[in-house]
Amino acid sequence: ILLENRTLSVTSAQNALLPELDLQATFGLTGNETDLGGTFANLVEFDSYSAGISLSFSYPIGNQAAKSSYQSAKLSYDQTVLSQQKLEQQIATQVRQAVRAVETSYRQIEAAGIAKQLAEEQLSAEQKKFNSGLSTNFKVLNFQENLASAQNKYTQAIVSYNKALISLDEALGLLLQRRNIVVNEIE
């Protein structure tokens, strides 16, 4: 809308630089009677009337105010176009970053899932050794701690992934729609 307004301003300022040609036509009925009734009688008969046509042409010479106004409107238009392009680039960059964040966090979930699975297998193996009397309580606790840490990283990766999805929806302008949120405008 701002760009359309700027376009109209440029067009208006550009029109102020153009020459003007005005055509005027007038027609009048007059009465010369001393009383009102007689005047109206003459008007009906068209005894007394006047008509005129005038043509006026003007060409602005050295119209600095109009030229300055035109240049100002044109600069405002150009600034608005550049602002719009900059905003489009920022949105595109934001969307690319959000997509990368989603992809990265998805890979983090995969890696954290593998690490969690390995920690579970290591704890299971160490527990079997402990039950057989081949390991110590300290080693089992150490593997339990490693598993808890791996589970925590896996949970954090899922949270990061969900945050990245929300950021992507926000960048695409779909946040409210995806969450089925309807905003009613107040009139």
- pLDDT digit string (tens) for 108-155? 999 999 999 999 999 999 999 999 999 999 999 999 999 999 999 999
| Nearest-angstrom CA–CA distance, 164 and 95 | 11
Residue 17's pLDDT is 82
On the question of pLDDT at 167 being above 70, the answer is: yes
Nearest to 59 by CA among 19, 103, 100, 15: 19
104 vs 98: CA distance, rounded Å:
10
pLDDT at 48 over 80: no
pLDDT higher than threshold 90 for residue 169: yes
User: How many angstroms separate the CA atoms of 113 and 156, rounded?
Assistant: 11
Can you give the pLDDT at residue 176?
Answer: 82
CA–CA separation, 30 and 33 (whole Å): 10
What is the average pLDDT value for the chain, to the nearest integer?
88
User: If pLDDT is split at 50, 70 and 90, which confidence band does 41 have?
Assistant: low
Q: Using one digit for the tens of pLDDT, what is the confidence trace for 68-87?
A: 888 999 999 999 999 999 99
Distances (CA, A) of 108 to 58, 65, 102, 111, 146: 74, 63, 10, 5, 17
Residue 122 is predicted with a pLDDT of 96
Q: What confidence category does residue 45 fall into, taking pLDDT thresholds of 50, 70 and 90? A: low
Residue 57's beta-bridge partner residues? 21
Q: Minimum mean pLDDT among 23-32, 71-80, 157-166: which range?
A: 23-32
